[in-house]
Structure 1
Amino acid sequence: MNVILDNLKSVIATYAGVSAGDISNESTLEELDVDSIFTVELILEIEKHHGVRLSLDDIVNEDSLTDLADRIQKAASAVSA
């Protein structure tokens, strides 16, 4: 899951113009000022890098980046099972 979390932080850091190291694993997308347009881009990045498609609701309803990474991991496991 660390690879997934690191990827999320990298993508968000690029968008937000900050260092990935400055983003907490427990940050929410709302705390990071991620808007709906970037959320759609994040969905596409997740699909590209991890092979799973999540809905907008899946993304915005997670409490933290750790929770989102966990959801991606579970979805990827289900796809490969």
Structure 2
Amino acid sequence: MQDIVIAAISKLLAAKKQPNVALVKANLSQPVPMPIIIDVLARYKQNPSDFEQNATQVTAQPNKQTEQTQSQLDRIEAKLDKLLSLLETK
């Protein structure tokens, strides 16, 4: 769970935004309990350099999950196009 919060903070840092609870919560890929968000943010505030290095890595590497999601969306779109074409021919 902490990895998800760290990724959200790194994403915000890469976008040159100052992380806070609301921004981190809005950028999470899945629900995370508030105490975990607060704990990771407190660690960030104590040692921001660790998170900034991670932010550099996040921007340098494409997000594998985003690529998988895009692939799934492409397959769904192709199926939808096929269904629409079948409906139009009837």
Same fold (TM over 0.5): no
Q: Which has the larger radius of gyration?
A: 2
Question: Which structure has the higher relative contact order (CA within 8 Å, separation 6+)?
Answer: 1
Q: TM-score, normalised by structure 2?
A: 0.30
